Amino acid sequence: MRRLRNVKIVATLGPASETYDMIRALHEAGADVFRLNMSHGTHEEIREKHRIIRQVEKELQSPIAILADLQGPKLRVGVFANGSEELVPGAPFRLDLDPAEGDLNRVCLPHPEIFQALKEGARLLVNDGKIRLKVESCGDDHANCIVETGGTISNRKGVNVPDVVLPLAALSEKDRDDLEFACGLGVDWLALSFVQRPEDVNEARKLAQGRAAILSKIEKPSAVDAFDEILAVSDGIMVARGDLGVELPVSAVPPIQKRLVRKCRVAAKPVIVATQMLESMIDSPMPTRAEVSDVSGAIYEGADAVMLSAESAAGSYPIEAVSTMHEVAVEVENDPTYRQVIEASRSAPRSTVADAIVAAAREVAETTEVAAICCFSQSGTTALLIARERPRVPIIAMTSLRGTARRLSLSWGTNCVITNEVNRFKMAVVASSRAATELGYATAEDQIVVTAGLPFNVAGSTNILRVAPCDERLIFNMENE
């Protein structure tokens, strides 16, 4: 399904978008990737959504990526005798392991690992940061705090601990079960929550055993601090601005977003910008101007994808939300300033043969009359390298592996075509020329750039480039050479 934009759209499925008609309409409106939130719904409900997505994919002959988002460990306070209490700034408040019901002075925090890591001066944020507590003293089973920001605290509200690295694995027992279930279904990407260190990603990768690519969600200050190491072991990144904005000053999030997107581009790894992008469209058919500017900013930065959460999962206007993102993307990418920004932020070429080939492909495409860049890529690496270049012409990724085509659906500007295996470069050129014309990326009068690796079907072997015609007669002659 040809898009008139390069940035991809991720749409979360939920109660408002779980039927065949809605999922198909969302894909036709512009959703390239569907997110299955493992925090909500039973395995059977998730299995049914997966089945419908694959049915739509088959009917429309359009590769679709499925992203399973693991919940991660949830840290919550216990319950209160009165259901809730009103905390006043400056008042003392104690968190401990005592399971007794809480009151105005204390409540249970049933997570001993938090007390093991806490230190004097550390902050605890309750209910998405609406309540802020500062640790005055602590032990293995308690923390005596002062209320810095007061408010209503009630049963089982979430707790964030931004100032310390917690001795917690990113994968809970539920996450392990969900990971195995999602990999068994055949999802393309696994989003890993609560990442604090590269070891968290390595653990998920070991469990996935190559059945899905690993995307790390950056939502904690410790993940920002260790980002280079986390990026090195991840296949992709999600900038989860909601939790980042809770654990860090909100003013720090925009520059962090820009830095992380830039580093992902340099590493040729897909990056999603997520959370509250069009949140007003949960209840309104129109976004705010600020939200449109937010989406535009992520696109100008060169993000691979922008994501809808509750807007498409539980909102009243899921199709309108996807359509709005699509329209904003088309408008931004047609702005001459967009190309200036993208090209000014392009990284210097690296030193491998593959890097040189893809840089040359982009250069040829931009200095001659070339309609598209076609690359043969079994692992997807070549397509990711070309996407890193952010060329002005369409990228057509040719692969015989359906899984590779689906995973690349998350990558900037990549249009995936599933083709037969080829073992000669001439046949790769023939297949590329036909795909470019049949899909409307080129006419018979156009030329395309074709890249591939010899020998074929060996990951990381990109070493050849050719400018080829799209004329059917010339293609026929090549076939009979």
pLDDT above 80 (res 474): no
Question: Catalytic positions, please?
Answer: 35, 76, 217, 275
Band (pLDDT 50/70/90 cuts) for residue 258 is very high
Q: What is the pLDDT of residues 365-385, one digit of tens each?
A: 989 989 999 998 888 999 999
Averaged pLDDT, 353-374: 92
**Do residues 70 and 179 touch, judged by C-beta distance below 8 A?**
yes
In this predicted model, what pLDDT tens digit does every residue of 143-182 receive, in sequence order? 999 999 999 999 999 999 999 999 988 899 999 999 999 9
In this prediction, residue 351 carries a pLDDT of: 76
Q: What is the pLDDT of residues 290-302, one digit of tens each?
A: 999 999 999 999 9
CATH of domain 8-72+170-335: 3.20.20.60
Q: Which parts of 352-457 fold into alpha helices (H)?
A: 353-367, 381-389, 402-408, 425-438
Q: Once rounded to an integer, what is the mean pLDDT over residues 87-96?
A: 97
Mean pLDDT for 424-431 is: 87
Spans of all domains in the chain: 8-72+170-335, 84-160, 353-479
Q: Note whether 8-72+170-335 and 84-160 share their fold.
A: no
**Secondary-structure class of domain 353-479 per CATH:** alpha beta
| Buried residues in 303-318 as b, exposed as e (16+ CB within 10 A) | bbbbbbbbbbbebebb
**DSSP-assigned states of every residue in 343-379:** HHTPPPP-SSHHHHHHHHHHHHHHHTTEEEEEEE-SS
CATH architecture of 84-160: Beta Barrel (2.40)
**Band of the pLDDT at 481, cuts 50, 70, 90?**
low
Query: Which pLDDT score is estimated for 426?
Result: 85
* Tens digits of residue pLDDT in 311-330: 999 999 999 999 999 999 99
